[in-house]
Structures are given as C-alpha cells and as structure tokens.
C-alpha cells in the first residue's frame, strides 16, 4: 500500500548553511597555512550529513573525517572518495576490500592493520600515531615496524587529549608528533581538532580536523568571537490549557500551580534529546518572550508556562534553547553530547 504524503512534522531543526560555512572559513583562516578539513562523523554531529557536507564542500572544505565505514556512503553522495577518511581503520579483510573498492583510504591504527593493508596490495592510506591519549592509534615505538614503514602514508594523524585545557600534555603530544613525522615523512600531517586550532601555529601542521566548532560549539574561549550558532531547533505547541491553582503538572507531580496558570504543551521530549536535566529551570522562547519549563520533561512533551505570551496558539513554533555553551553549562552535558543526541524525529532543513 502506498501511503499518502506525511503531514508536516511538529519538531524541526533548522541548519543555517551560511553560519556553518562561515564557521568553517573562520577555522580555516585560524589554521594558518594548514587547510581545515571537517569531522562529519555521527551524521555531522547530529545535524545531518546531507545538509552539512554540501555546505562545507561549497565553502571549500576538501577533507572529511568519519569514524565508521557505515558512514561512508552518505558522505560519498556529496564529495569524492579521495577526500573521505575513516578514522577507525580497516580491521579485517572485508573493511580493507571495501576501502579499496570505493577508494576511501583507511587510517591504519596498528601493526596488524598495516600488514592487512599491505597484504591486500597496499596503496595510499593514512596513519594514526597515539601520542598520549592512549585510545586509538599506533604506539610511537612501533613506527619502525616493517609493515608500518612500508605504508604509503598520505596523512599522518594524532589526536590531542586535552586541547580544550591549558594542559602540559598538549606540548608533550606536539613534540611526540613532530618526532613521529620525522620518522614517517608523510605527505601531510594533522594534529588539531577544534580546540587544537586555538592552541596556535605550532599545532596546525598541514590539515586541521575541526568538528565541534563547525557546528557552533565553543571548544576554547579563544573561539568565542569567531564561531556562531548553526543549529536552531523548534517545537510546535500541541495543546494550550489553563491549569488551575493547586493542580500539578507532569510525571510525579513535581510542579504545583500556585495560581491559575496558562500553559503550552510542546512536541519535544527526552526521546528527542531534550533530556530531563535540561528541563528544570530552563526556558523556551517565542518571539522573544520567555516560556519557563513546568514540571518534568516527558518522552515526547514538555509543558511551558506561557502566562507572559497569551497569544500563543496550538500549531505555533517555539524556540528550544540551544545556545551550546549556555545549555552545556546549565545541564552538565558537554556541547558534543547536546549536538549528537539531537533526535531522529526532527525535520531537518
């Protein structure tokens, strides 16, 4: 059976392509003589690959980083395979064969992967060396391994553990990376994520890999003046009512109306990424009027106090608070978590 066209969603996420392009350009300029790439893993940090990748490509970005092989097809709809990098590496024959067939170079993360890649014919690849995050990548003392030495390394990568802090580990990792570069002699080198870009010229090398700050996150205070909000979520009012004095609102009756109160129930809940601890004390807004959250966040709904906005009607769209640094500060979630937990029910445009 063919279904008729779906009615319009009651939850929408606007991605501002100009803000995204401007953030990429700002990060590219801040990267000095290096070129900025873009981390577009996890569906472009929740914003949507189909909106984010074309905007980044048209701004001039030519290097796109994902984590999983399963993320490759969506990115290939918009950019050539030679510009895509899969960070998690090629662990087995199936992944290595896929890499070779589509022309997406894998990041080699250990000796076994180096051998696997070489035994399948070798060719252009990238190499991740672990300089101190101790997470993923080749230990520097294995750079002399025969299979590793035989690799045709395009980009030598490493990842900073504490670039968002003024940690002595940053300089230590940078020094170890310099040493690894001297050993490998790759075509290009890449160390800095968003925060790393703000650490200065010594961290830039040839390619930078911003993610968070492309999407409006402020990875370090130095970036605050140059990065603007990209994602704007809105939820529709699905019910207006008057709650009588003494009545409670929501699960577990955590809020009781001190007097008759005008409320708007909106179509967003924790299943959409508006997790419970983003509710208490927070406010939505409508045309500049603020609408405090009342009671608990449900799976699909939040109740707002619209006493100072009595013209609010069912079907109207309210702005969900999403200034990333502010929301992170008040909720305890990181800016990364706020982006990547944006739900699937949003209509993205």
Ligand X SMILES: *Cc1c(COP(=O)(O)O)cnc(C)c1O
User: What single-letter DSSP state applies at residue 152?
Assistant: E
Q: Are 17 and 10 in contact (CB under 8 A)?
A: no
Q: Are 221 and 194 in contact (CB under 8 A)?
A: no
Query: In the stretch 209-238, what mask flags binding to ligand X with x, by CB under 6 A?
Result: xxxx------x-------------------
Question: Among residues 41, 45, 203, 215, which one is catalytic?
Answer: 41
Residue among 159, 204, 296, 348 that touches ligand X (CB under 6 A): 159
To ligand X, the closest distance from the beta carbon of 211 in angstroms equals 3
- The CB-of-227 to ligand X minimum distance in angstroms stands at 11
Smallest CA-to-CA distance from 43 within 259, 231, 262 is with 231
The separation between CA 237 and the C-alpha centre of its own chain, rounded to angstroms, equals: 28
Binding segment toward ligand X, per CB under 6 A, in 89-97, 144-152, 177-185, 193-201: 193-201
Contact status, residue 52 vs residue 40, Cβ threshold 8 Å? yes
Exposed/middle/buried for 226, CB within 10 Å: 0-12, 13-18, 19+?
A: middle
The residue among 35, 91, 84 whose CA lies nearest residue 61 is: 35
- Length of the chain measured in residues: 349
Annotated catalytic residue: which of 215, 251, 270, 286?
251
Question: C-beta of 337: minimal distance to ligand X in Å?
Answer: 12
Q: 125 or 268, CB closer to ligand X?
A: 125
Q: What is the CA radius of gyration of the chain?
A: 23
Is position 215 annotated as part of the catalytic site?
A: no
Where does this chain touch ligand X (CB under 6 A) — which range of 50-58, 146-154, 206-214, 254-262?
206-214
The β-bridge relationship of strands 35-36 and 207-208 is parallel
Give the count of residues interacting with ligand X (CB under 6 A): 12
Window contacting ligand X (CB under 6 A); options: 167-175, 192-200, 272-280, 297-305: 192-200
Q: Among residues 46 and 250, whose Cβ is nearest to ligand X?
A: 46
Query: Least distance from C-beta 342 to ligand X, angstroms?
Result: 15
The rounded Cα 149 to chain-centroid distance in angstroms is 33
257 binds ligand X (CB under 6 A): no
**Left if phi > 0, otherwise alpha if psi is -120 to 50, otherwise beta: which for 155?**
beta
Binding track, positions 37-56, relative to ligand X; x by CB under 6 A: --x-x---------------
Residue 86 beta carbon to ligand X: minimum distance, rounded to whole angstroms: 11
41 is catalytic: yes
Query: Which residues neighbour 68 within 8 Å (Cβ) at sequence distance 6 or greater?
Result: 41, 86, 88
Catalogue the active-site residues.
41, 251
Interaction site with ligand X (CB under 6 A): 39, 41, 87, 159, 193-195, 209-212, 219
């Amino acid at each position: 059976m063919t279904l008729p066209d779906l009615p319009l969603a009651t939850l929408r996420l606007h991605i501002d392509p100009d803000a995204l392009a401007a953030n990429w350009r700002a990060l590219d300029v801040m990267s000095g003589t290096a070129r900025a790439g873009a981390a577009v893993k996890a569906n472009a940090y929740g914003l949507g690959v189909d909106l984010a990748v074309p905007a980044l490509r048209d701004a001039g970005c030519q290097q796109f980083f994902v984590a999983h092989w399963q993320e490759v097809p969506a990115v290939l709809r918009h950019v050539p395979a030679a510009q895509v990098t899969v960070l998690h590496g090629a662990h087995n024959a199936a992944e290595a064969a896929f890499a070779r067939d589509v022309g997406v170079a894998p990041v080699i993360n250990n000796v076994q992967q180096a051998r696997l890649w070489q035994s399948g014919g070798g060719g252009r690849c990238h190499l991740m060396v672990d300089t101190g995050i101790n997470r993923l990548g080749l230990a520097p003392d294995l750079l002399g391994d025969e299979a590793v030495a035989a690799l045709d390394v395009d980009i030598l990568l490493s990842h900073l553990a504490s670039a968002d802090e003024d940690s002595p580990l940053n300089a230590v990792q940078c020094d170890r990376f310099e040493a690894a570069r001297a050993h490998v002699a790759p075509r290009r080198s890449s160390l800095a994520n968003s925060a790393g870009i703000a650490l200065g010229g010594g961290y830039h090398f040839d390619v930078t890999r911003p993610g968070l700050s492309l999407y409006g996150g402020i990875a370090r205070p130095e970036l605050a003046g140059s990065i603007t909000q990209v994602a704007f979520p809105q939820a529709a009012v699905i019910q207006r009512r008057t709650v009588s004095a003494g009545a409670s609102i929501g699960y577990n009756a955590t809020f009781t109306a001190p007097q008759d109160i005008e409320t708007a129930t909106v179509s967003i809940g924790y299943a959409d990424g508006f997790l419970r601890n983003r509710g208490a004390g927070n406010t939505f807004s409508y045309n500049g009027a603020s609408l405090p959250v009342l009671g608990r966040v449900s799976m699909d709904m939040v109740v707002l106090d619209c006493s100072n906005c009595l013209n609010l009607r069912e079907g109207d769209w309210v702005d969900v608070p999403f200034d990333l640094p502010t929301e992170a500060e008040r909720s305890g979630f990181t800016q990364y978590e706020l982006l990547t937990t944006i739900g699937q029910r949003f209509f993205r445009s």
